[in-house]
Structure 1
Amino acid sequence: MTIFSEATRSASTGHDYPRGVAQQPDRITAGTEGVVNDQQAASGSVYAKPPRNQHIELLRVFAIISIAVFHVFLSWFTQAAGLGAHQQQIVDSHAELLAASFPSMWAMGVINLLGSWGNHVFFMISGFFLIPSLAEYSHEFDYWRSQVVPTLKRCLTVVLSVLFYGFIALAVNAWIMPLPGAGSVSWWGMGLEFIWLYLVFVALAPMIAWGIERIGSAKAEILAFAVLAVVYALNAYIAFVAQGDLDGRGLGDWRKQMSAVTYLVSFIFAGLIGKRVRNTSIGGSEPKARQWWRKPRIILWMMIAVCLLTLLLTGVLAASGRYALLYALSFKSTSLIACALAVLALLFCASVQRSIRVAAVFRARVVSALAPGILGFYIAQSLMHALWFAPCYAAMRTMLAHAMGQGAAVQAMWMIAFFAFGIVFALLFAVVVCLFDRFLRQPVLRALRLLR
């Protein structure tokens, strides 16, 4: 199963077939598995489904971990950067120790970029699988009628997942510990903005795919690059000039709307990448010399170059004490660096043909157990933020308290412990939630025939 198996793979076949085995997409998504009659096969209304890419599965796991690590350190970073009071967050004097440490601020600046990167991967992987499959089938006579039920199922999966974790969170709030805002409109609404954006994108996917197929891939790619340039020019203005009142943003704020547009562009852009990869895999006419995006070594070196430049830039800003700029570099959805790295990571995973040893080790157990849980993880960590954040914050604060007033060597030891604990906690937290999701939410959805 994939990270969004309930919403992406069902658009095509719902199963993984060897290349060359034809399946009829809408028949499968409607619930009739593997049904292709002779007349459909003769008319050419069947398509080859490439095998599942295990490297993209592994990318999903890395995205979960990145998002978890980001949330653990976010509050500390904003406080150390002097932005805690501006964002109406708690202001802890212990964060001054972090602000005085160049390595600590450098590390947290990079970690903040990881969160933005993970969010882009969250949307990109869905677009990568969903849009090409729908676009390929959009020429069929019954395209619109056949997509009503699958689209409703994908949307219903998201809504029921929110309700599932929402009721658990309300039970925690009633019997275990209070969760701030539990049951409020903002708790169900803006607190889950990424999930509701994903729901909207999934609902729009059939129209997006239909439009891309009518425009043509080449023209759609040119248009996408143009839109991308405009979006990130506006994002740069938001991040470095006009962040505004972060706590007072509502749906009517143009910066909040730009966040939605940015992730929609990521979703569509990844769909175009997936379409190009899919078309080339089944016999596209583009010369191999021009297919640089299918050469993993080239993409890997590009990723290394971007990572080194990112480390250099964040290091310079941290060393010079320009913490506001360091924060703006990874501000919410506006980070061009995070988007570029997400695109390159997706291209790399899509271009690798032979198995990587790491992927082979994790494929059977870890990846299959954790990757499908990212939807549940996003919902659970948002609705039950206080449940996991409070003990984590208290432990990390204690470590900083031990470092206060100590010599350089002792302080360095406690700083290392501070970061090690935060990363390990985030990793374990992600694993626990994803396994919980695997054994509770996913079986419920299977029982409702929304998952396979």
Structure 2
Amino acid sequence: MSHVPSHSRNPRIEALRLVAIAGIALFHTFQPWFSAATDGSWAAGPLITWALGCVSLLGAYGNHVFFLISGLFLVPRAAQASTTAGYWPDQVRKTGRRALTILASVALYALVALAVSTWVVPVEGVSLHEAGWLVGGLEFVWLYLVFVALVPLVGWTWRCMRRPHAAVFVLVSMAFALNAYIAFLSPGEVDRGLLEWRKLMSAASYLVAFLVGGVLGETQSRRPARALAACAAVAVVVEGAAAFMGSSDVLVALSFKSTSALSFALAVLSVAYAARSADAATAPASTPTNHAAALTCRAAPCVLGFYLAQSIFSPLWRPLADALTQAAAAGGDVALLVAGTAFSLALLAVMLLTDALVRLPLLRWLGLA
């Protein structure tokens, strides 16, 4: 039986957003260590390599989760509304509002970054004379903007097709067949141009995730918890096998940017599990569970702000992360993991709180939140 997710916030979905952004924070903190462990520049042991291999899955996982959740809500609603009168004007209005929210958010963080770089401390790459920090550096945000703009067309096409779910399955199969070729056989150069075909496959992979989110919004998995646990176990075992066998190339391929099929599968099953309990937050207001749900729903809208801040201000926080983890590494692998995790979560908390105090009030003042 098909269903369309409720307009009210689902605490489990919002919690998953926070889990995803925490995964991205961890991924970026440990990314240099994973690269060093797999390119031979650091003689890492199999246990720490195994742990870093699992962490390396989190970057693509988090991004896929965000696009899946967006598709989960936006696609079914647009498809359902496409049979009503005034569909296009209504969708244009809603799409314009969503686009303005994204653009206003980028503009705010860009202005803050320029002010900080001019009057507080220089931020490398942040300048009116450079565009990389706002173009390639924020490619995830621009992809999200493009997908939001496509929602009216996607919803209309979705409703016109006899079997949209089957079409999405075909797209998934094609995309990840190409992704497997890229990851294991033809990774290309480390730095890709925006129009290089492997780079475009990253965008295609996230578009596929967005469409799969639409499928999840209209169906319910029978046993998502078991499937998720099984997939997570497979990911851990496969990463461990590659680490203990010393197969660095396999480790890299398993988590190769957005092409990672493991990350995608984990993301799909995570969203399916969270979406299955759409009415989970029905506890009385006085219970601890309800208070935690309320806090989660307050924090989750700040994830866009965290992504913007983490990307734009990476020249400031990256040296701190590297210095802290390098100092911790002298105490052993466990110390490295603990220090990197603590730094990642602290950075996440500070940026989420800042966003809640600055960007969200501004958006409300502008009538965009």
Report the TM range for the smaller structure's normalisation. Answer: over 0.9
Indicate the residue corresponding to 1:203 in structure 2: 149
Partner Cα distance (2:297, 2:69) in 1 = 16
The superposition leaves residues 119-152 of structure 1 with CA deviations (integer Å, 9 ceiling, x where unpaired) of 1001111111111111111111211112222211
| Structure 1 pair 359–215 and aligned structure 2 pair: CA distance change class (3 A) | farther
The 5-angstrom pairing of residues 368-447 of structure 1 reads 368-400=297-329, 402-403=330-331, 414-447=332-365
Say whether the 8 Å CA contact 2:5–2:72 is kept in structure 1.
no
The superposition leaves residues 220-248 of structure 1 with CA deviations (integer Å, 9 ceiling, x where unpaired) of 1111111101100000011111111121x
Partner Cα distance (2:289, 2:334) in 1 = 29
The 5-angstrom pairing of residues 21-420 of structure 1 reads 49=6, 51-82=8-39, 96=42, 99-183=43-127, 184-216=130-162, 219-247=163-191, 249-276=192-219, 293=221, 295=222, 298-352=223-277, 353-354=279-280, 360=290, 362-365=292-295, 367-400=296-329, 402-403=330-331, 414-420=332-338
Partner Cα distance (2:261, 2:301) in 1 = 27
Partner SS state of residue 166, structure 2: helix
Unaligned runs of 5+ in 1: 1-46, 84-94, 278-292, 404-413
Query: Partner amino acid for 1:130?
Result: L
Deviation at 1:179, TM superposition (A): 2.2
Partner SS state of residue 255, structure 2: coil
What TM-score do the two structures reach when normalised by structure 1? 0.76
Partner SS state of residue 188, structure 1: coil
Deviation at 1:48, TM superposition (A): 9.8
Unaligned runs of 5+ in 2: none
Partner Cα distance (1:148, 1:107) in 2 = 46
Query: Partner amino acid for 2:25?
Result: A
Partner Cα distance (2:291, 2:232) in 1 = 26
Deviation at 1:320, TM superposition (A): 1.4
Say whether the 8 Å CA contact 2:71–2:213 is kept in structure 1.
yes
Say whether the 8 Å CA contact 1:55–1:359 is kept in structure 2.
no
Partner Cα distance (1:104, 1:148) in 2 = 50
Query: Partner amino acid for 1:157?
Result: T
| Structure 1 pair 48–418 and aligned structure 2 pair: CA distance change class (3 A) | closer
Partner Cα distance (2:74, 2:55) in 1 = 29
Identity %, equivalent residues: 40
The superposition leaves residues 371-425 of structure 1 with CA deviations (integer Å, 9 ceiling, x where unpaired) of 011111111100110111111110111122x34xxxxxxxxxx321111111111
The superposition leaves residues 295-337 of structure 1 with CA deviations (integer Å, 9 ceiling, x where unpaired) of 3xx2211111111111111011111111121011111110111
Higher relative contact order (CA 8 A, sep 6+): 2
| Aligned-residue RMSD, C-alpha | 1.9
Report the number of matched residues. Answer: 359
Partner SS state of residue 368, structure 2: coil
Indicate the residue corresponding to 2:368 in structure 1: 450
Partner Cα distance (2:288, 2:70) in 1 = 23
Say whether the 8 Å CA contact 1:259–1:333 is kept in structure 2.
yes
Deviation at 1:51, TM superposition (A): 4.5
Partner Cα distance (1:192, 1:143) in 2 = 31
Partner Cα distance (2:35, 2:73) in 1 = 35
Say whether the 8 Å CA contact 2:64–2:264 is kept in structure 1.
yes
Whose Rg is larger? 1
Partner Cα distance (1:48, 1:383) in 2 = 33
Say whether the 8 Å CA contact 1:56–1:349 is kept in structure 2.
yes
Partner Cα distance (2:109, 2:7) in 1 = 34
Partner SS state of residue 57, structure 2: helix
